[in-house]
């Protein structure tokens, strides 16, 4: 195996490890505020990415962060060596978690905006107001939809 092939193989292993660590960071994020694991789905006109969506976003965020921090020549002649540290692994976990959190927050923001628009056009309902104030974004949306006009 040539030196260039060995370097390419090492980079591929590093990227695979970063991808998995970022996905794990995204997976941990699933348990914050969600009632459980669910697959991606459309609930009426609302998309819910589920745990797979947050894992993919976490993995991609970790890869982007690693690529920015550890620039390597992908094509061409190079003799540079790349070092993989525990800090790289920890960074992938944290960035995967943070990227998934951002992605999840953007989706929840959209759901809550729909909830506010629906509830604003309906009569006051103390029970729905309590659910909207304390429930998950999807529970709040369902409570707003169930309110009487």
In a domain, 49, yes or no: yes
In a domain, 118, yes or no: no
pLDDT tens figures, 53-97: 999 999 999 999 998 887 766 666 666 667 888 999 999 999 999
In a domain, 145, yes or no: no
Q: Which domain holds residue 21?
A: 3-107
In a domain, 81, yes or no: yes
How many domains does the chain contain in total? 1
Please spell the DSSP secondary structure of 7-64, one letter per residue: HHHHHHHHHHHHHHHHHHHHHHHHTSS-SS----EEETTEEE-HHHHHHHHHHHHHHH
In a domain, 116, yes or no: no
pLDDT tens figures, 14-55: 999 999 999 999 999 888 766 678 888 887 777 778 889 999
In a domain, 64, yes or no: yes
β-bridge partners, 42: 47
In a domain, 48, yes or no: yes
In a domain, 138, yes or no: no
């Amino acid at each position: 195996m040539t030196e260039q092939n060995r370097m390419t193989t090492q980079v591929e292993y590093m990227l695979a490890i970063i991808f998995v660590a970022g996905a794990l960071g995204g997976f941990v994020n699933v348990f914050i505020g969600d009632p459980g694991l669910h697959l991606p789905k459309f609930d009426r006109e609302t998309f819910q990415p589920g745990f797979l969506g947050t894992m993919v976003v976490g993995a991609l965020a970790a890869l982007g962060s690693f690529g920015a921090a550890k620039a390597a020549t992908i094509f061409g002649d190079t003799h540079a060596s790349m070092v993989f540290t525990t800090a790289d692994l920890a960074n992938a976990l944290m960035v995967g978690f943070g990227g998934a959190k951002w992605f999840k927050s953007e989706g929840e923001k959209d759901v809550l905006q729909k909830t506010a628009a629906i509830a604003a056009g309906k009569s006051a309902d103390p029970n729905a107001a309590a659910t909207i104030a304390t429930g998950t974004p999807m529970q709040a949306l369902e409570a707003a939809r169930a309110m009487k006009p």
